[in-house]
A and B are shown apart, each in its own frame.
Chain A
């Protein structure tokens, strides 16, 4: 079977090279190795074993696993954290392999490798520049998109995690990394200088920007136990609205809950996130709402959450050693599809 996969890979490679010559003509044909119409799922893989991977789901909902390794005949690496598509290139952030693999997005053929420390998430800030949050440097790596190299670094708080770009600023969630933090670093993307640091609540993990340009940050909250597992201190998670680099509103979740995975719909009008203490559920929040919803939209715990083209997506990592699953829901919370993907599916990348 392994050999077959490799053969398919070689075949795909040949097809892709051919197709890139006369791309306009065969653009619509869905063949393995042509990754234009569809979306990607990043599968972290087991920490310490280097078996992270990428799954591709085409426009018909057919899944192809291990797309990077099968095309390039080498592994992505250890803990595939996230993927971003910028200027027709896939940037795959491999956390524990300290690398960013750069591949042509329509063929998945590797074109460059950027060495960093512990990369988490990436966001484009201009035509020539992107930011990568990196726990290993407690800061942002500035990537020169023309050369695919690190041009400089910007210091943030502890464990920079989610990042979003709006207006002239990038908003970086300092989740704490291997420690604890409660801030957002706001960076001026023109000169790569920190504009301000906002305190939003313990463990900010994800950030999105709505249709009006408001910045929404989700913080997870923090629980500390004593020797007998009694809670010593606990802080609530918050949904924080930032306008003009000032906190405009803070909506607190129930203490003991740890909300995460803030995503936004295509129109930029509705937020979705997972909330709960042990078992989580997906909730929807209209950007004009003034209080947190009490009824769940999807009563299910997802390991990763995504939104694209009118659909909500969520992953289940099962037991974290076998192949995980990805589910597709309507915005009303009705399940419409499920596919089996790689090991520990953690995130989505939509083109």
Chain B
């Protein structure tokens, strides 16, 4: 309670300063600041990767997991049918994924599966390193991933058809269009993908290490997206986004099991209506979102038939007021979550929550600071006030210094609280995980080169861990304490037609509290967190030809702590090459890609094989 009062006082303190200074400021911030997204408005002090999605209509076979792995220092863990990110040594539910500002993480389990998200129809993907929970709420602890469709980027009418064929029975067809007449902009796509996934691998767990074919890993998916934006007047803008996806897949088991009948069916529908209105120095953004997630997992050999239907209604209001160098931002969100799960004691669960958000910013050419306070009210557990303090200073024309200190949280999921059955029980008394993040960094920006370095320390306490109890039942508790610290660096520069980009992360993430009196892992690196992760890519652009080569390194990870030596998975380096050629006189672009060029054997999760060399060819036909 004392802390809350302190932060309210802190904010009030800034407001008084604001009044004192307001008269002196004459610099007007560009109007565009009023219309920028909540993310962009709160990037002060933040390390962020901006990934522009190739070119319109292309890249139809690229999933979010491989995109992030090859273009950032974020570690991607891939096992079975699932791929999840790990920012700054945190676990998979510590990354919040937002679609045009709307949180997508499953309310059932807190996860977002990156292997099932295709990057086809997003205009940009932004990776925010570090917690962001005081702006975006639960789950943004290690980092957040923002998938955006920005219709402002559409300047022409186009229609495009793409077809991709690849190794191991990969086939993908897509159709996309974009139109814009100044007032109305629209963009849409339809994509089908099927993948047999029948790659060969050496089964090191069987007698004689035979070469076998992965005969259980078929994927079929369908994606539909539609985005509309209508500019009613220079003051008012409406937009509507719809995204439906469906994915059916066979879930492969580890290579020691001879067969599996596990299948997973994911269906999702997401709709978002946005109204933006601005008058003078004031802007209002209203959002209404509806998210539906239909998940089914079956494994009849083990009598498993798990199904849930999750629905979220999110109403979000955001008000920005600019006065001179100051931006005052107020917001509120009301969320109603419904979840019907055949594994809960009573099938249907409903919960409502309310969040209030306030921020005060100062931005000039030399200095910027941001203070944020967020409070959320949940019916069954208490969420503390989440503050952020951020600061930036332009030390010289090229060097910027960043500083950020904030608190983050992750709420217990529906599964954490209400699960019952299959030897596991949820715990209704769980409280949110609490995480304090401190970071500082320098950005160097010249015309030809960009360099960024960030150091951080992140303490997560009351982490929720599912543990097997002495009666054999699995139960989650707020028991774990983790300390992550590390350094992230990235560099980008251009030499004539050649661009070079590199990312590197050093991550030390350790267990700080024994979860059990025999727990020997205090001070030890967490499982599945590599100390080193890095990548480098070279892209050569010459006339109509683009050639790129990228290499990524994933350090050794611990799978199980044991004495005298921990069980580990070896580090590995993967290299991909890609060529893209656009015909001058034909509306055709050809794209070829070789993934895992050197045909390396590698594992990111114990005893789960990965494909060797893969070839992909895409033919794209676009008329403008």
Where the two chains meet, the residues of A that have a C-beta atom closer than 8 Å to any C-beta of B are 1, 46, 48-51, 65, 72-78, 94, 96-99, 110, 113, 115, 117-118, 136, 177-179, 225-229, 258, 260, 276-280, 301, 316-323, 325, 340, 342-343
Contact = CB atoms under 8 A, between A and B. Distances in A.
Given A48-B254, A342-B562, A343-B562, 6 more contacts: A1-B565, A49-B607, A178-B302, A258-B472, A277-B471, A322-B562
Interface stretch (B170-178, B324-332, B515-523): B515-523
A46 to B, nearest CB: 7
Nearest to A256: B471
Contacts of A280: 470-471
Contacts of A301: 470
A323 B561 contact: yes
A300 B544 CA distance: 73
Contacts of A226: 345-346
Contacts of A118: 301-302
A78 B471 contact: no
Interface residue SS majority, chain B: loop
B207 interface: yes
Given A50-B606, A280-B471, A225 B345 contact: yes
Given A48-B254, A98-B258, A178-B303, A319 B467 contact: yes
Contacts, number: 127
Interface in B254-281: 254-259
B468 interface: yes
Contacts of B420: 225
A48 B253 contact: yes
A28 B563 CA distance: 28
Contact of A78 (B256, B428, B469, B518): B256
Contact of B254 (A49, A65, A73, A178): A49
B209 A74 contact: yes
A328 to B, nearest CB: 16
B341 to A, nearest CB: 12
Nearest to A47: B254
B204 interface: yes
Nearest to A4: B565
B425 A225 contact: yes
Interface in B578-607: 605-607
Nearest to A48: B254
A279 B470 contact: yes
A118 B300 CA distance: 13
Nearest to A158: B303
B567 interface: yes
Given A51-B560, A97-B258, A74 B470 contact: no
B571 interface: no
Interface of B: 80, 204-209, 253-259, 301-304, 344-346, 420, 422, 425, 428, 467-472, 515-516, 518-521, 527, 559-563, 565, 567, 605-607
Given A50-B607, A318-B519, A323-B563, A177 B303 contact: yes
B607 A75 contact: yes
A347 B308 CA distance: 36
Contacts of A177: 303
Nearest to B564: A1
Contacts of B605: 49
Contacts of A342: 562
Contacts of A97: 256-258
Contact of B561 (A50, A96, A229, A321): A321
B345 to A, nearest CB: 5
A46 B257 CA distance: 13
Nearest to A135: B302
Contacts of A276: 470-471
Given A178-B303, A323-B563, A51 B519 contact: no
- Among B206, B208, B253, B607, the one with the most A-chain Cβ atoms within 10 Å of its Cβ is B607
17 contacts: A49-B606, A49-B607, A50-B254, A74-B206, A98-B257, A98-B258, A178-B303, A225-B345, A226-B346, A229-B428, A280-B470, A301-B470, A316-B518, A319-B515, A322-B562, A323-B520, A325-B518
Given A225-B425, A227-B346, A77 B257 contact: yes
Contact of B471 (A258, A316, A325): A258
B605 to A, nearest CB: 7
B257 A96 contact: yes
A120 to B, nearest CB: 13
B562 A78 contact: no
Nearest to B427: A229
Contacts of B425: 225, 229
Contact of B257 (A78, A277, A340): A78
Contacts of B560: 46, 51, 321-323, 343
A178 B515 CA distance: 29
A322 B458 CA distance: 24
Contacts of A113: 207
Nearest to A322: B561
A98 B253 CA distance: 12
Contacts of A321: 527, 560-561
A17 B427 CA distance: 54
A72 B207 CA distance: 8
A320 B302 CA distance: 22
Contact of B559 (A51, A260, A320): A51
Contacts of B207: 72, 74, 110, 113
Contacts of A99: 258
Nearest to B524: A322
A316 B470 CA distance: 10
A149 to B, nearest CB: 16
A98 B259 contact: yes
A327 B425 CA distance: 29
Contacts of A225: 345, 420, 425
Contacts of B302: 118, 178
Nearest to B475: A278
A76 B206 CA distance: 8
Nearest to A317: B468
B607 A178 contact: no
Contacts of A323: 520, 560-563
A75 B559 contact: no
B258 A115 contact: yes
Contact of A322 (B206, B470, B520, B606): B520
Contacts of B208: 74
A94 to B, nearest CB: 8
A136 B515 CA distance: 34
Given A49-B254, A50-B257, A72-B207, A227 B345 contact: yes
